[in-house]
């Protein structure tokens, strides 16, 4: 089993990437990290990681799910990234787990995956506006699973989010 982790190249939220990745890795799931560029990526709290691929190098059909981390960089780099939006759409439409935390559920909304679905998102005017325009039902819960879509509200929910993603992958 192989899961794609999507992060911004600058200012991704460290724990929203590291904690879910740890849960999946410990369960024996291969985790591949992609970003807007192949190479060094910087977290908001000082974590430095290497992305395995750029989004342009990703073939959605090679993955059993996608996890998108939030952070300020997510809003700046990922919200309107057409390549990532297309990847998320292909994975989600195929019925595979599509997961996003904090500001990242906006990517799932833009991919057309949240229409009519319950979703959690970090509460900002911009994030709420996009989810509302894309017909998501925003709920005030830490982690929400609606079909194959898993969303979480904040970095504080990264542990529960990681467990929910693992549970969805094991179905």
Report, as an integer, the average pLDDT of 87-116: 98
Cα 100 to Cα 109: distance, rounded to the nearest angstrom: 10
Question: Residue 72: its pLDDT value, please?
Answer: 96
Question: Residue 80: its pLDDT value, please?
Answer: 96
Total domains, the chain: 1
Burial of residue 158, with CB atoms counted within 10 A of its CB: 0-12 exposed, 13-18 middle, 19 or more buried? buried
Report, as an integer, the average pLDDT of 67-77: 97
Tell me phi and psi for residue 146, to 5 degrees: -135, 100
Q: Extract the runs of DSSP E, i.e. beta strands, from the chain.
A: 2-6, 10-12, 30-35, 39-43, 48-51, 53-54, 66-68, 98-101, 118-119, 137-138, 143-146, 149-152
Question: Residue 53: its pLDDT value, please?
Answer: 97
Report, as an integer, the average pLDDT of 3-14: 98
The parent domain of residue 162 ranges over 2-169
**DSSP structure class, residue 21:** H
The answer to whether residues 16 and 72 touch, using CB atoms and an 8 Å cutoff, is no
Six-digit token pair at 156? 């504080």
The answer to whether residues 113 and 148 touch, using CB atoms and an 8 Å cutoff, is no
How confident is the model over 110-164, as pLDDT tens digits? 999 999 999 999 999 999 999 999 999 999 999 999 999 999 999 999 999 999 9
Question: Residue 3: its pLDDT value, please?
Answer: 98
How confident is the model over 17-66, as pLDDT tens digits? 999 999 999 999 999 999 999 999 999 999 999 999 999 999 999 999 99
Question: Residue 171: its pLDDT value, please?
Answer: 79
Residues 6+ apart with CB under 8 A from 59: none
Tell me phi and psi for residue 63, to 5 degrees: -120, 150
CATH of residue 151: 3.40.50.880
């Amino acid at each position: 089993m192989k899961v794609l982790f999507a992060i911004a190249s600058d200012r991704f939220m460290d724990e929203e990437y590291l904690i879910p990745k740890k849960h999946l890795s410990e369960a024996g799931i291969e985790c591949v990290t992609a970003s807007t560029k192949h190479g060094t990526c910087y977290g908001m709290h000082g974590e430095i990681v290497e992305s395995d691929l750029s989004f342009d190098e990703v073939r959605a059909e090679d993955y059993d799910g996608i996890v998108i981390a939030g952070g300020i960089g997510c809003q700046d780099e990922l919200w309107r990234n057409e390549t990532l939006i297309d990847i998320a759409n292909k994975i989600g439409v195929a019925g595979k787990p599509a997961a996003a935390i904090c500001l990242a559920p906006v990517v799932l909304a833009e991919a057309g995956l949240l229409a009519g679905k319950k979703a959690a998102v970090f509460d900002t005017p911009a994030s709420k506006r996009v989810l509302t325009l894309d017909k998501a039902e925003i709920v005030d819960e830490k982690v929400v699973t609606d079909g194959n879509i898993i969303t979480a509200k904040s970095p504080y929910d990264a542990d529960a989010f990681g467990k929910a993603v693992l549970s969805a992958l094991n179905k």
